[in-house]
Amino acid sequence: MHIILGGTGHVGSAVAETLLERGEAVTVVSHRTAELERWEARGANFAVVDVNDTGALREVLKQGRRLFLLNPPAAPDTDTDAVEKANLRSILTAIEGSGLEKVVAESTYGAQQCDRCGDLGILYDMEQALKAQSIAYSVIRAAYYMSNWDASLESAREQGKVRSFYPADFRLPMVAPRDLGRAGADLLMQDADEQVLHHVEGPRAYSPADVAVCFASALGREVAVEVVPRDRWVEGFREMGFSEPGARSYAQMTALTADKRYEPANDPIRGEITLREYIDALAGRV
């Protein structure tokens, strides 16, 4: 049995769907019941539990052999770093004594030791904690999610603009959730004696300008990039509904990504889905 944390989100659901397509037994974990019927209709078990209920989460983990660990994102209007650190502490404690034989954990390109820098620091801490325990594990350092652009569909369609905190020509590796799902499922099904760091990205790097071109093609209208200046990053995140500490953490994460080129330590696993294919599907053309 594979246990999937974050199983109703973009990446977790892609992992679960891939495993089900391969005939594997899956339990999707969520703190809400909204998608229970959909997943049970597909043949998955569905466990409703808050990751901060450590004891209840451990009982769910005891029902499986392998875990896909995706630390749930905090609501933007909270102190995002504090909430996500608390989530992670509970999950790591629940793993202890769970009887799991392998963990596959979702991390991010650029994970590093830093304070108040969002996922870059929190997921680095997760990696280090996994190294310190005895269960076999693999870590996926994922490139920038193509799904991060989902929120731009409405502004692209209605206003002809895509908002970006990066320069329009800033290129970075991106990856579709479906490709991450395949990679996660592959690693869950491999031998349980490895401790390996894997990088996963799409066919090539893309820029916000490329995103605008893809939206323009998908929507049949002109779409331009609206760049948020660096001195307005905190304000920009606040306008998106982030708390003050959350906005500052996300601004710091953006700065580290923009200023420090990240080179994978090994050849990345390459997905097949292009940005154009992803945005075409998002816009409902395919």
As a whole number, mean pLDDT of residues 168-185 equals 96
Q: Kindly report, residue by residue over 89-134, the tens digit of the pLDDT.
A: 999 999 998 999 999 999 999 999 999 999 999 999 999 999 998 8
Q: What is the pTM of this model?
A: 0.92
- What average pLDDT does the structure give for the chain? 93
pLDDT at 181: 95
Question: Does 276 have pLDDT greater than 60?
Answer: yes
Longest alpha-carbon distance in the chain: 55
pLDDT band at 195 (very low <50, low <70, confident <90, very high): confident
Q: Is the pLDDT of residue 176 over 90?
A: yes
**pLDDT the model gives residue 285:** 63
Contact indicator for 138, 105 with CB cutoff of 8 Å: yes
Q: Decide: 74 and 56 in contact? Cβ < 8 Å.
A: no
- Token pair recorded at residue 79: 């102190």
Full strand arrangement of the beta sheet holding 172-175? 144-145, 172-175, 205-206
Q: What percent of the chain has pLDDT over 90?
A: 85
Is the pLDDT assigned to residue 239 strictly greater than 60? yes
Q: Which residues of 43-60 are buried (b: 16+ CB within 10 A; e: fewer)?
A: ebbbbebebbebeebbeb
Beta strands 102-108 and 136-142: pairing type? parallel
Query: Given the DSSP bridges, would you call strands 161-164 and 224-227 parallel, antiparallel or unpaired?
Result: parallel
Confidence of residue 31 (pLDDT cuts 50, 70, 90): confident
For residue range 36-56, list pLDDT tens digits in order. 888 888 899 999 999 999 999
Domains of the chain: 2-145+174-203+261-271 (3.40.50.720)
